[in-house]
């Protein structure tokens, strides 16, 4: 028995619960704009993640109830499900979750030891193996949130064939296709995919994630440096590109409020296990994620690049920690 004899009471379980609470506004907005498919994806991912985690813990002979209670696997499943297309077929969801929990998390030693964000590793895995399914997003009309709609969505998920009326292109995909046909940015304006600031619908989802993310920062569950770095990186990279050629690249607000920018900035990049830990390292880490998001969107093979950007910066995080070692008290 050794000092201190007190504890703050902020446990891993409570931090993870805070993250889940902070995800709720974004979750509600996602359901409102993307339909019941989001909920089905979450149910699938949660069940699969808890099952995989239990198997892994049993194999590793770790205490089951105590370890499951840390809540990390629930956050993993939620992030993964929110990053999946809502109408992705069920087997894709299961593959991504299984890869995330078994290979990206437990093969490296479980909570605290994984070098790459498991949820994003699962997404990248699915993106590399099944790019077509990963890029089918529901249409931008507000889906009817009725019981019949939920059953339709369930059918779409279970049959693995999205209903045509429901599927469509998001802003990032649409503009990508247009750009390939050499349509100028100024000519694209007015297309139905654009909203007030970002992609139609997506801007509100992003705003909701921003609100949840601010709650995380105010509660000091995540450090403010990483999201600030990400947003600054996205804004700066997008502004520079837009300044270089405003007919090929989009302005910063559009990047900030489309795709998974806010989800990535506040919930994914801030995963403490895989991010940089020193104060300056966190700023640089976030900045790198932001720049890479824009780079992946503009020059990458896939419409959105949050998962790829986060995975790449995860690999750099230990180096950033080493380079940005803080000075101790009283040291010049």
Partner 1 sequence: FAGLRDASGLRLISGGPMMGTVVHDPAAPITKTSNCLLLVPAEAQPRPRPCIRCGACDRACPMRLQARALHDCVRATDFDRAQDLHLFDCIECGCCAYVCPSAIPLVQYYRHAKGVIEGLDRDHAKALAAAARFARHGSRRRNAPISGGAELLDLPGSRAALRADIEAALARRDERR
Residues within the interface to partner 1 (CB under 8 A): 1-8, 10-12, 14-15, 66-67, 70, 72, 110-113, 223, 272-273, 275, 277-278, 321, 325-329
Beta-strand pair 167-168/137-138: antiparallel
Nearer to partner 1, 243 or 279 (CB): 279
Q: Which is nearer to partner 1, 34 or 282 (CB)?
A: 282
Find out whether the peptide bond into 4 is cis, omega within 30 degrees of 0.
yes
Least distance from C-beta 217 to partner 1, angstroms? 14
The upper half-sphere exposure of residue 161, i.e. CA atoms within 13 Å in the direction of its Cβ, equals: 2
The helix or strand, by DSSP H or E, that contains position 20, with its residue range, turns out to be helix 12-34
| 163 DSSP β-pair partners | none
Q: Which two tokens stand for residue 309?
A: 């950007």
Token readout for 201 is 């619908």
Nearer to partner 1, 92 or 221 (CB): 221
By C-beta, is 14 or 58 nearer to partner 1? 14
CB of 311 to partner 1, least distance (A): 17
Nearest to 133 by CA among 156, 151, 103: 156
Tell me the C-alpha distance between 258 and 171, whole Å.
Answer: 7
CB of 45 to partner 1, least distance (A): 21
Q: Are 117 and 80 in contact (CB under 8 A)?
A: no
Radius of gyration of the chain (CA): 20
Kindly state the smallest distance separating residue 106's Cβ from partner 1, in Å: 12
Shortest distance in whole angstroms from residue 207 CB to partner 1: 27
Coil, helix or strand at residue 11? coil
The nearer residue to partner 1, 11 or 146, going by C-beta atoms, is 11
The span from the CA of 209 to the CA of 72, in Å, is 19
CA distances from 22 to 209, 212, 213, 230, 309 (A): 8, 4, 6, 18, 23
Name the minimum Å distance from CB 62 to partner 1.
10
CB nearer to partner 1: give 96 or 276: 276
CB of 234 to partner 1, least distance (A): 23
Q: Which is nearer to partner 1, 138 or 288 (CB)?
A: 288
- Least separation in angstroms between residue 278's CB and partner 1 is 7
CA gap 73, 83 in Å, rounded: 15
Distances (CA, A) of 221 to 18, 112, 272, 289: 7, 16, 10, 20
Joined together, the tokens standing for residue 52 give: 């995989």
- Burial string for 243-257 (b: 16+ CB within 10 Å, else e) reads eeeeeebbbbebbbb
User: Least distance (Å) from partner 1 to the CB of residue 111?
Assistant: 5
- C-beta closer to partner 1: residue 241 or 313: 313
**Closer Cβ to partner 1, 18 or 122, answer by number:** 18
């Amino acid at each position: 028995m050794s000092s201190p004899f007190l504890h703050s009471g902020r446990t891993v379980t409570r931090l993870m619960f805070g993250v889940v609470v902070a995800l709720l506004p974004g979750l509600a907005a996602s359901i409102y704009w993307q339909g019941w498919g989001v909920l089905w994806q979450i149910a699938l991912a949660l069940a699969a993640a808890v099952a995989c985690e239990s198997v892994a813990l049993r194999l590793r002979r770790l205490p089951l109830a105590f370890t499951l209670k840390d809540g990390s696997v629930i956050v993993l499943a939620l992030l993964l499900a929110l990053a999946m297309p809502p109408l992705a077929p069920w087997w894709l969801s299961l593959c991504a979750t299984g890869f995330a929990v078994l290979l990206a998390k437990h093969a490296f030693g479980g909570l605290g030891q994984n070098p790459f964000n498991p949820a994003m590793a699962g997404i990248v895995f699915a993106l590399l193996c099944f790019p077509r399914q990963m890029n089918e997003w529901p249409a931008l009309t507000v889906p009817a949130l009725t019981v019949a709609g939920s059953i339709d969505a369930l059918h779409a998920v279970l049959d693995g064939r999205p209903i045509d009326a429901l599927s469509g292109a998001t802003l990032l995909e649409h503009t990508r296709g247009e750009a390939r046909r050499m349509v100028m940015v100024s000519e694209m304006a007015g297309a139905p995919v654009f909203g007030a600031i970002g992609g139609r619908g997506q801007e509100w989802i992003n705003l909701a994630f921003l609100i949840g993310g601010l709650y995380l920062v105010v509660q000091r569950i995540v450090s403010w440096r990483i999201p600030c770095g990400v947003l600054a990186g996205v804004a700066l990279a997008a502004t520079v590109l837009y300044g270089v050629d405003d007919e090929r690249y989009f302005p910063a607000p559009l990047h900030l409020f489309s795709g998974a920018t806010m989800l990535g900035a506040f919930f994914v990049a801030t995963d403490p296990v895989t991010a940089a830990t020193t104060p300056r390292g966190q700023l640089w880490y976030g900045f790198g994620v932001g720049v890479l998001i824009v780079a992946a969107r503009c020059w990458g093979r896939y419409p959105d690049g949050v998962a790829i950007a986060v995975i790449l910066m995860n690999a750099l995080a230990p180096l950033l920690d080493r380079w940005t070692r803080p000075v101790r008290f009283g040291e010049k």
